[in-house]
């Protein structure tokens, strides 16, 4: 009997060694996908075995951000998806690889949940950490995520304005009600340095996410500057964290907090 128990413990521990870190936001366009890609790349550069799941049905963008556009995942004999290997040391699967462009938005609850399941239960091999880029807000994918594939923790991204933060709080509530630990908040698009004169301005304000983190009792994981180079590198499929490009230090600092 002792032997049988040992096997069970071993099986449980193999299953639980893969942890999911969800990256969420209250609304779209705040840089959630950009942060997810750069965190995954940064963690992989630290030697972690990382996979990235693009669960954003409304605007799947990870294939573009990781320079893997047009590459389709294959499947194993057991019909498990095999993640696309990017040149940045991470495997990736995206909702956008399961449907034709523009089609996914019509998905309703069960379909979206099923698709998420296919991405998570894929052939992730030795991957230890899965970063999941959630859709913005509090919809069906989030519900499936927290009910069926409980994340080890969640990172919440917001721009500094009050409005974005109010939305972010809703996303936080959904997660905390399901006992998903909030790892912390990240403020994106803070502090813009004029490429011409070097002056720093704050188009979306600054400090809002840090203040909100403090007020809600969560860790503040860092601030990513608003930089033209972050957008252009992202559009070219080169995550700044991979190349020491614009904002790399800020992305790496946030990633460092996830390994503590
Ligand atoms: P979300 O996933 O929240 O919808 P994205 O990551 O797709 O947001 O970012 C939206 C747009 O803003 C993209 O064009 C992206 O390149 C740009 N962007 C994100 N963060 C920054 C930043 N810190 N500086 C400059 N552009 C950014």
Extents of the domains making up the chain: 20-259
Above 80 in pLDDT, residue 2?
A: no
What secondary structure, in 3-state letters, does 122-169 show? Answer: CCCCCCCEEEEECCCCCCHHHHHHHHHCCCCEEEEEECCCHHHHHHHH
Reported as a pLDDT band with limits 50, 70 and 90, residue 4 is very low
Reported as a pLDDT band with limits 50, 70 and 90, residue 10 is very low
Above 90 in pLDDT, residue 53?
A: yes
Reported as a pLDDT band with limits 50, 70 and 90, residue 164 is low
Q: How far is 48 from 129, CA to CA, in rounded Å?
A: 8
Superfamily name and number for 20-259: P-loop containing nucleotide triphosphate hydrolases (3.40.50.300)
Q: What is the pLDDT of residues 99-113, one digit of tens each?
A: 776 665 667 778 888
Above 50 in pLDDT, residue 186?
A: yes
Cβ–ligand 1 contact at 54 (below 6 Å): no
What's the mean per-residue pLDDT of the chain?
88
Above 60 in pLDDT, residue 32?
A: yes
- What pLDDT, on a 0 to 100 scale, did the predictor assign at position 247? 94
- What pLDDT, on a 0 to 100 scale, did the predictor assign at position 90? 98
Cβ–ligand 1 contact at 230 (below 6 Å): yes
Calculate mean pLDDT across residues 211-223.
Answer: 93
Reported as a pLDDT band with limits 50, 70 and 90, residue 15 is very low
Distance from the alpha carbon of residue 26 to the mean position of ligand 1, in angstroms = 14
The residue assigned the tokens 């890609």 is: 37
80 is in an annotated binding site: no
Q: Which of 191, 234, 248, 250 to mutate to test the pocket of ligand 1 (most atoms within 8 A of CB)?
A: 234
Above 80 in pLDDT, residue 48?
A: yes
Above 90 in pLDDT, residue 208?
A: no
Calculate mean pLDDT across residues 145-154.
Answer: 94
- What pLDDT, on a 0 to 100 scale, did the predictor assign at position 9? 41
Q: For residue 203, how far is the Cα from the chain centroid?
A: 24
Output the residue whose Cα is nearest ligand 1's atom 16.
231
pTM of the predicted protein model? 0.91
Cβ–ligand 1 contact at 61 (below 6 Å): yes
- What pLDDT, on a 0 to 100 scale, did the predictor assign at position 110? 80
In DSSP terms, 225 is beta-bridged to 190
Output the residue whose Cα is nearest ligand 1's atom 9.
31
51 is in an annotated binding site: no
- What pLDDT, on a 0 to 100 scale, did the predictor assign at position 103? 65
Above 70 in pLDDT, residue 5?
A: no
Reported as a pLDDT band with limits 50, 70 and 90, residue 120 is very high
Above 80 in pLDDT, residue 228?
A: yes
How far are the Cα atoms of 62, 77, 84, 87, 238 from residue 171, in angstroms, in the given order? 21, 38, 29, 32, 29
Please compute Rg for the chain using Cα positions: 18
How far are the Cα atoms of 87, 165, 227, 236 from residue 67, in angstroms, in the given order? 8, 31, 20, 7
- What is 52-105 written as a DSSP string? EEE--TTS--HHHHTT-TTPPPEE-TT--EEPEEPTTS-EEEEGGGTS-TTTGG
Q: How far is 61 from 44, CA to CA, in rounded Å?
A: 19
ipTM: 0.99
- What pLDDT, on a 0 to 100 scale, did the predictor assign at position 138? 85
């Amino acid at each position: 009997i002792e032997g049988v128990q040992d096997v069970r413990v071993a099986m449980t521990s193999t299953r639980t060694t893969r942890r999911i870190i969800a990256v969420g936001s209250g609304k779209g366009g705040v840089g959630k996908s950009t942060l997810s890609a750069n965190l995954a790349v940064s963690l992989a550069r630290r030697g972690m075995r990382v996979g990235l799941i693009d669960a954003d049905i409304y605007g799947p963008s990870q294939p573009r951000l990781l320079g893997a556009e047009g590459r389709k995942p294959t499947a194993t004999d057991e019909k498990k998806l095999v993640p696309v290997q990017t040149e940045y040391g991470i495997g990736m699967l995206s909702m956008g690889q399961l449907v034709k462009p523009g089609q996914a938005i019509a998905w309703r609850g069960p379909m979206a949940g099923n698709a998420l399941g296919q991405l998570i239960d894929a052939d992730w091999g030795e991957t230890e950490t899965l970063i999941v880029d959630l859709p913005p807000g509090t919809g069906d994918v989030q519900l499936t995520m927290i009910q069926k594939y409980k994340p080890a923790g969640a990172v919440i991204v917001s721009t500094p304005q009050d409005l974005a933060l109010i939305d972010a709080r809703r996303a936080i509530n959904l997660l905390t009600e399901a006992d998903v630990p909030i790892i912390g908040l990240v403020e994106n698009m803070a502090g813009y340095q004029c490429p011409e004169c070097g002056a720093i301005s704050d188009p979306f304000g600054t400090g809002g996410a840090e203040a909100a983190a403090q007020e809600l009792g969560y860790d503040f994981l860092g601030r990513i500057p608003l930089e033209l180079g972050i957008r252009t590198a992202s559009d070219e499929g080169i995550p700044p964290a991979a190349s020491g490009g614009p904002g790399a230090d800020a992305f790496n600092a946030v990633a460092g907090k996830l390994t503590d």
